[in-house]
Amino acid sequence: MEVNEHSAKLDGFDRAIHSVRGLPGYSEKVSVIEQGSDFFFTSSKWIITSVRTDDQQAVFLEWIGQAGGDRLVIPPAVVKVIYRHHNQFRTIGRKLRGQRAADTRKRKQVAIEEDSQPETND
Give the pTM.
0.60
Within 10 A of 28 (CB to CB), how many other CB atoms are there?
A: 13
User: Are 10 and 4 in contact, with CB atoms under 8 Å apart?
Assistant: no
pLDDT tens for 27-58 read 999 999 988 776 666 788 999 999 988 888 88
How far apart are the C-alpha atoms of 62 and 60, rounded to whole Å? 7
Q: What is the pLDDT of residue 44?
A: 86
Q: What is the pLDDT of residue 32?
A: 95
E strands in 39-111: 44-52, 57-65, 68-74
pLDDT tens for 57-111 read 889 999 998 888 999 999 889 988 988 998 898 888 788 888 888 888 777 776 6
Res. 1: pLDDT tops 60: no
